Every structure is written in C-alpha cells, then in structure tokens.
Amino acid sequence: MKIRGLVLSSRPHKEQDRLIRVLTIENGVLLACAPGAGKTGSRHALSAQCGTLSDFTFNHSRGFLYVKESEMVEPFRGLYEDIEKLTAAAHILEITSDVCVSQDISSVIYPVTICALFALSETQKNTSPVISAFEWKVMDVSGYSADLSACPCGKSEKDSSFAFSFNRCRIFCLRPSCLSEAGKYKVISIGAVEALRFFKRAEASNLFSFTVSDEVSDELSEITRKYLCEHLEKKYCKMDMLDLIKDYSICESSE
C-alpha cells in the first residue's frame, strides 16, 4: 500500500525503530512501525519525523503495518526558524491528532492541517491569527459549528460590538434582554465577527489568506481557544507555555 501522509507523532520502539501515527486523506490515521528510523542516517529517519509530509509504502505483517519505502515530500523547514512557529505547529498536530477519530473527519481535517503548517512555515507575521483560523475551522468541520448570523432579536448589524455566547454557541447584540439569554459570553468587535465568518466559509487553500489588526488577533485568540477547549473538554496549553516564556524573557531583558 502506497500512500501520502502527515506524521502526527513519532516515538521510539524497541532499539532503533519508531512507531508513527500518519494522517492520510484516504485511510484516516494509520499506526505503523518505521524500522531503523531511530538510527541516524536511516533511510526512514527523515520521512518518519513528526510534522513531516511523506510518501510511504506499507507492508502488512501479522495485522500490523510496517514502512517498506518512504520519501520525504515536505519538511516544513520554516517551522524550525523560531520557537513560536515550532510550538504553534506542535499545537496544531495535537489538535489534529485528537479530532481525527474517523476516516470521514480525517479526510476533511487533512487539507486544513497541511495548509496551516504551510502558512506557519511561510509567514513572517504573528502566528496567532493562523492558529485562530485553524482552531475555528477545525471546530466548524468537526460538528461544533457556531451560529454567526444576526442576533435572534432581528436587530441590524450596524453595531461595532457583539457578544459571543459560549453557552449558546452564537452571537448576540448588546441589548440587555439579549445578553440575558447569552449566558457566558465575551464582547467582541465586528472585525472579529467578520473574521470568524471568513474562517467558517473559506476553503482550506484560502483559509489563511487574511490580515487582521493586533487587537482583533487578540480577540480571536481568546475566543477560538476557549471554544476549542470547552467543546473538546481538554486544556490545550502549549501556546500558554509560549506566552510564559515570552513574559519571562521580557522580565529578564528589563533587569
């Protein structure tokens, strides 16, 4: 079986082998053994690295997959330029690994993840908007889509701010009667609402072709991360750890 896939994880197995989880568009997530991949100079060493897009030829043996041939297609070298990009990529791979529980969902998530890694690898800008777009799109295609249409009261959208309700998974206007229905919410700008709408309708290939202000980027980051964590019932903390490193570096430089 020959197939192209993204290596979601790679861990040591026995002395010099590695067990890899590979996301594919045709067969979902596959678990396979890459013989000798843990050895420097091995023919599988590069293609079996976590976060690498590779072509694999698998053999079946006793109900298990073994890598027979492999060739690295895309290493996403730009991810290794700084710790922020590398941390963001690890965050994306963790989410992808968690949500790809069936072949159907894997086939939809696959292009989103690949495009997100390309965007991170190539961008010279803040990675936060890329992460927000990815998180929101993953939630949307995984069955946790939020309602971003007008407030149920029918009020026009001429306001500059709205309330995003985490309880109701939709937006409301800021009228007191509507906010009483919103439950737990965050007030966000119309710019953030429009960005979320763009994430929802955009194809994977066009998902990361946008720009937002730093203020809107901060809004999006808080909304998409909280929405993701609440619906997947998991605390994704890799990006939080990066923020702590940045704060520590700032404190060190100011002394």
Residue 88 buriedness (CB in 10 A; 0-12 / 13-18 / 19+): buried
Look at residue 249 in the predicted model and tell me its pLDDT.
43
Residues 113 and 233 both lie in one domain: yes
Three-class SS state of 242: helix
Domain presence at residue 180: no
Residues 218 and 139 both lie in one domain: yes
Domain presence at residue 152: no
- Is the confidence at residue 125, as pLDDT, over 80? no
Q: Which two tokens stand for residue 154?
A: 């029918």
Look at residue 62 in the predicted model and tell me its pLDDT.
81
What's the number of domains the chain is made of?
A: 2
Which amino acid type is present at position 175? R
Look at residue 129 in the predicted model and tell me its pLDDT.
95
Residues 138 and 232 both lie in one domain: yes
Is residue 34 within 8 A of residue 20, CB to CB? The reply is yes
pTM: 0.91
Of the residues 51, 74, 97, which one is the last residue of a structural domain?
A: 74
Residues 26 and 133 both lie in one domain: no
Residues 121 and 14 both lie in one domain: no
Other residues' Cβ atoms within 10 Å of the Cβ of residue 190: 14
DSSP 47-104: TTSTT-EEEEEEEEETTEEEEEEEEEEE--GGGGSSHHHHHHHHHHHHHHHHH--SHH
Residues 68 and 88 both lie in one domain: no
What's the mean pLDDT in 235-250? 67
Of the residues 52, 74, 96, which one is the last residue of a structural domain?
A: 74
Is residue 186 within 8 A of residue 206, CB to CB? The reply is no
Contact partners, residue 158, CB within 8 Å, separation at least 6: none
Domain presence at residue 162: no
Residues 26 and 113 both lie in one domain: no
User: 70 is in which domain, residue-wise?
Assistant: 2-74
Query: What would the pLDDT profile of 134-188 be if each residue is shown by its tens digit?
Result: 999 999 999 999 999 989 987 766 778 999 999 999 999 999 999 999 999 999 9
Of the residues 22, 55, 74, which one is the last residue of a structural domain?
A: 74
Domain presence at residue 100: yes
Residues 45 and 134 both lie in one domain: no
